[in-house]
Structure 1
Amino acid sequence: MFRRIYEDLIKNHMEGTGGFPVMLAPLVQSGHVKIVDDEIRFWNGSRIFLCHCQLEKHRFKYQGAEIHVLLIDELTMFTSTIYRFLRGRMRAPGLDIPQWAIDFFREKFGVNLSAKIPLALSGSNPGNLGHGWVKAAFIDGVAEFAIRRMSPSEGGMLRQYIPARLEDNPHIDAAEYEGKLAGLGTKELVRAMRDGDWSIVAGAFFDNIREDKHKLPSFTPPAHWTRFRSFDWGSAKPFSVGWWVVAEAEWVKTFKDGKERMLPQGALVRYREWYGVKRDEDGQIKANEGLRLSAEAVGRGIMERERGEKIDEAMSRADPSMWKEDGGASNAEKMLKCDARDPNKICGPRFAPADNTRALGWQEMYSRLAWEDVDDGEPMLFVTEDCYDWWRTVPPLQHDENKPEDINSDMEDHAGDDTRYACMGRPVSRVQKPRTPTGPAPWTMDWITSQGSRG
């Protein structure tokens, strides 16, 4: 049984009326069970090991483990890397789940267990640093209780999502506990914790992101609007490229849904992205695993994707680590000379080093996303529906436990980083923001009528 932090492991499973010492007291008294430190030993040779794995490097403590049943308490507290490693330690040759256990799970929880082990059982609330990868792996696009066989790269096991809501817990007074949940604050957070709603990100750093406010249909920006790009480097971890346009206060009708919109003057719109994340043979994302492309290959990919566009390279910003030299050319230089036929030809994308002041950058990004505290209720940052990985990874980002003004960098924060670079390259002041013009769209019948009334 794993919990991320040792102190939480002890509090949740060794202390209180629900802890193992109380739960197993009759067996301890009869001599059938011994509890020695973090290990529970049964008379028949079975054992329960209480384990913790706070950091990714700690996973190697379990390199030689043979795990028959893997129990994880609060899965979203772990990274995908830790979970995959522990899952890889699961093996139980020749062992079966007893029929009584299969019957118990079916009758008690409506869950059909395979008669074979190893078996992994994970419980979690929405939120925390693993929210994004857990949601993508277990919940997105999956019917509740549906059992599916995963690909070899995803462990090759059967997988099932079992929803859990307040009324499903037989050990609490639902009415009393609901009142405590209501005291959490926002209705979104209450819904996430009460109903297990994974579309709500509990404890998110950017708690002001809303799809109805920030998500736009795909569109082609007007040619005269300023376009630029932002870039966060990664090889073993994903890289992230975002293409942005600076909106002008005019009516445009180049959206996929055909609607005419006027965006706030100076608003940033992320209209395209390229996210270098690894996928398995079934197209499933391997969260936070990069493509390991060279700087030259990334440079060629950027130029191919923006062919025919006019990009303002003076405004474009990239990860400052791109300019580090370690006994050879920097990645920024390699990206510039990305022509495979002529390594001396300068033909790749140009960037300026981004301002990498993290706390200030996140605040600038938060300010652009803000909409509740402004007169017209309009944010100054939008992201189109095409930017799947932005929507997958940015809303779940959490605060750093030790630095609340920063984001937990153990999470998949690469699209967030490139967005931060874009915002720092073009800071906005709410005081200086021009009000969005009101009235009907130009050359509509309502507009023509209004012009006539002016004489």
Structure 2
Amino acid sequence: MNTVVIPYEPQPRQILYHQTNDIDELLYGGAAGGGKSEATIWDALQYALECPGSRQIIFRRTFPDLQRSIIARTIVAYPKELGKYNQSKHEWTFVNESIIELAYFDSDSHKANYQGAEYDVIRWEELTQFEESWYTYMLSRLRGSKPYPRYVKSTTNPGSVGHAWVKKRFIDVGEWEKVHAIHEVDDSGDKLYHPDTKEPIITRRIFIPAKVQDNPALLEADPNYIVRLMKLSEQERKQLLDGDWDTFSGQYFSEFNRSLHVCEPFDIPREWKRFRSMDEGYNDPFVCIWVALDPKGTAYVYREFVKSKLLTSEQVEMVWLNSGVESYDYTVADTSFWNRSKTENVTPAELFIKKNITLIQAKKERVNGWKRLREWLHPFDKVDHVSGSIYKDVKLKIFNTCLKTIESIPSMVHDDKMVEDVAQHPLDHVPDTLRYWCMSRPQNVGTERPWSAVQQSNRQQRFDHDDDEEEDAPKARGFW
């Protein structure tokens, strides 16, 4: 038998990726140049050769991405003695009858392509480019009759439309490079148990980070690659060089900062103005957020309710129950609340009125609405009037109990075709709701600017002069 030489020498981080198989889901990468695609194609080949008759699939978001990366690379790299590539089916068939499909997945309609499919291993390249529902749907295709280990292995950089859900699923669950046993929950947040054994349904997940520094072979072949990464903008450099998951290229509200925008809950004073804002939905979630405005013009998102599959009557009941005895200046709502039902000849807005919840229609301008929201989020310099020091502050803050709001705002990305707009996103319902409230308010321009020593001196002289004037003389009023 002829010996086949595999032309691949894995780097230390890639070896860890290859050897970590006692899991359900794995994510590898986090920065550019970590050898993600190479790890994917060689890991797939190893599994194919070790598990005769197995079937795997490797996904990219678009066919051009698939063609210039995975297809092109496997055709060059895979030894022809081991398998054959079928160009029309986009799949490899190996001498032991194992198969690796190469596919793309870029819309909900592609789910139908895999309704009867069975895979031993599913692999996603650049996972943050995919929607969570596509990923979770394909988990149901992870099945088979052969006693082989089955899992999902993915690679990615931070950023893109799936950044938030990938971060939540892999990055935020705990210590990196450690397998975490996650007790799965349903859409309502209730923990799931096996219907027969009543045992908790557990998923074993791990994130293995890799940067360009973990790929010495690349740096040896191209020592200037890391220099080119360092020349990127600060946001792109953090993403591609450092593997920073808190900021990424294409992020719409890049000014969002947890240390500034998220605060501990406190009792809202009775004299503060209060508002509600709502977005209708059934399959998409129904959203209601509660906002309080202090006398100085700072807004606080202090409560949220986000839930799918609620009838309008149930939405009314949940808003009423969560509002308690509070009084509100007004409740602004998506215009769809005024759509009349063909069967019952009633609008959702009328059902809310029956519970003494009167709604006003939201202004639906998207670009202007996002600009208005950005004004509220934008950090500004503020003066400590005791010490005279300058610090950053914002006009919109969020209680740390409002998890959906905190998750969704930094997850929004620019629309590729209209960069001033937010791209369609699975989490955009809460930002939409917040946009309605912002558009219901006057333009927020109440930012405080630091005073120079000369300005402070001039201000004090003006006040001293005012004190010397007669009592009935008109006083000068300054705004700062």
TM-score (norm 1): 0.75
RMSD: 2.7
The whole-number CA distance in structure 1 between the counterparts of 2:151 and 2:275 is: 49
Query: Match for residue 63 of structure 1?
Result: 115
Query: Match for residue 74 of structure 2?
Result: 20
Q: Structure 1 residues 170 and 323 mapped into 2: Cα distance closer, same or farther (>3 Å)? A: farther
Given candidates 210, 217, 222, the residue that maps to 2:269 is: 222
The whole-number CA distance in structure 2 between the counterparts of 1:301 and 1:390 is: 18
Map 1:105-124 → 2, pairs under 5 A:
116=149, 118-124=150-156
Tell me whether 164-173 or 3-12 shows the greater mean CA deviation: 164-173
Query: Match for residue 387 of structure 2?
Result: none
Query: Match for residue 459 of structure 2?
Result: none
TM-score (norm 2): 0.71
Map 1:433-448 → 2, pairs under 5 A:
433=446, 435=448
Query: Match for residue 159 of structure 1?
Result: 205
Deviations 1:205-246 (A, max 9, x none): 101111222222212222112111111122222222111122
Q: Share of identical aligned residues, percent?
A: 28
Residues 252 and 412 in structure 2, CA contact (< 8 A), matched pair in contact too: yes
Deviations 1:380-409 (A, max 9, x none): 222221211111121111112222222122
Partner amino acid, structure 1, of 2:252 = F
Query: Match for residue 419 of structure 1?
Result: 434
Given candidates 388, 399, 412, the residue that maps to 1:397 is: 412
Q: Structure 1 residues 149 and 374 mapped into 2: Cα distance closer, same or farther (>3 Å)? A: closer
Residues 245 and 271 in structure 1, CA contact (< 8 A), matched pair in contact too: yes
Query: Match for residue 352 of structure 2?
Result: 335
Offset at residue 71 of structure 1 (A)? 0.7
Offset at residue 351 of structure 1 (A)? 1.6
Offset at residue 320 of structure 1 (A)? 1.1
Residues 201 and 396 in structure 1, CA contact (< 8 A), matched pair in contact too: no
Query: Match for residue 49 of structure 1?
Result: 101
Q: Structure 1 residues 32 and 209 mapped into 2: Cα distance closer, same or farther (>3 Å)? A: closer
Query: Match for residue 247 of structure 1?
Result: 294
SS in 1 for 2:410: coil
The whole-number CA distance in structure 2 between the counterparts of 1:194 and 1:398 is: 20
Partner amino acid, structure 2, of 1:36 = Q
Deviations 1:120-159 (A, max 9, x none): 1011111111111111112213221222344466885432
Deviations 1:70-125 (A, max 9, x none): 010011111111001111111122232xxxxxxxxxxxxxxxxxxx2x22101111
SS in 2 for 1:364: helix
The whole-number CA distance in structure 1 between the counterparts of 2:208 and 2:422 is: 30
Query: Match for residue 298 of structure 2?
Result: 267
Query: Match for residue 245 of structure 2?
Result: 198
Map 1:56-455 → 2, pairs under 5 A:
56-96=108-148, 116=149, 118-151=150-183, 156-173=202-219, 176-186=224-234, 188-249=235-296, 266-276=297-307, 290=308, 292-313=309-330, 316-327=331-342, 328=344, 329-336=346-353, 346-371=354-379, 377-430=392-445, 433=446, 435=448
Tell me whether 201-210 or 172-181 shows the greater mean CA deviation: 172-181
Residues 230 and 317 in structure 1, CA contact (< 8 A), matched pair in contact too: yes
Partner amino acid, structure 2, of 1:347 = K
Partner amino acid, structure 2, of 1:274 = F
The whole-number CA distance in structure 1 between the counterparts of 2:282 and 2:314 is: 11
Partner amino acid, structure 1, of 2:372 = E
SS in 1 for 2:218: coil
The whole-number CA distance in structure 2 between the counterparts of 1:180 and 1:434 is: 38
The whole-number CA distance in structure 2 between the counterparts of 1:139 and 1:435 is: 37
Residues 300 and 348 in structure 1, CA contact (< 8 A), matched pair in contact too: no
Residues 368 and 428 in structure 1, CA contact (< 8 A), matched pair in contact too: no
SS in 2 for 1:200: coil
**Structure 2: runs of 5+ lacking an equivalent:** 1-57, 187-200, 384-389, 452-466, 469-480
The whole-number CA distance in structure 1 between the counterparts of 2:224 and 2:442 is: 47
Are 1:2 and 2:59 an aligned pair? yes
What is the total number of aligned residue pairs between the two structures?
371
Query: Match for residue 9 of structure 2?
Result: none
The whole-number CA distance in structure 1 between the counterparts of 2:396 and 2:127 is: 32
Offset at residue 348 of structure 1 (A)? 4.2
The whole-number CA distance in structure 2 between the counterparts of 1:208 and 1:374 is: 16
Partner amino acid, structure 1, of 2:71 = M
Partner amino acid, structure 1, of 2:269 = P
Partner amino acid, structure 2, of 1:323 = W
Deviations 1:235-284 (A, max 9, x none): 222222111122223xxxxxxxxxxxxxxxx23221221222xxxxxxxx
Partner amino acid, structure 2, of 1:182 = M
The whole-number CA distance in structure 1 between the counterparts of 2:377 and 2:248 is: 16
Residues 204 and 397 in structure 1, CA contact (< 8 A), matched pair in contact too: yes
The whole-number CA distance in structure 2 between the counterparts of 1:183 and 1:59 is: 40
Tell me whether 51-60 or 327-336 shows the greater mean CA deviation: 327-336
The whole-number CA distance in structure 2 between the counterparts of 1:157 and 1:435 is: 49
Q: Structure 1 residues 160 and 333 mapped into 2: Cα distance closer, same or farther (>3 Å)? A: same
Higher CA-based Rg: 2
The whole-number CA distance in structure 2 between the counterparts of 1:171 and 1:411 is: 39
The whole-number CA distance in structure 2 between the counterparts of 1:402 and 1:366 is: 20
The whole-number CA distance in structure 2 between the counterparts of 1:236 and 1:330 is: 18
Query: Match for residue 259 of structure 1?
Result: none
Q: Structure 1 residues 34 and 127 mapped into 2: Cα distance closer, same or farther (>3 Å)? A: closer
Query: Match for residue 287 of structure 1?
Result: none
The whole-number CA distance in structure 1 between the counterparts of 2:111 and 2:217 is: 33
Moved over 6 A (4+): 373-376
Residues 397 and 411 in structure 1, CA contact (< 8 A), matched pair in contact too: no
The whole-number CA distance in structure 1 between the counterparts of 2:137 and 2:213 is: 34
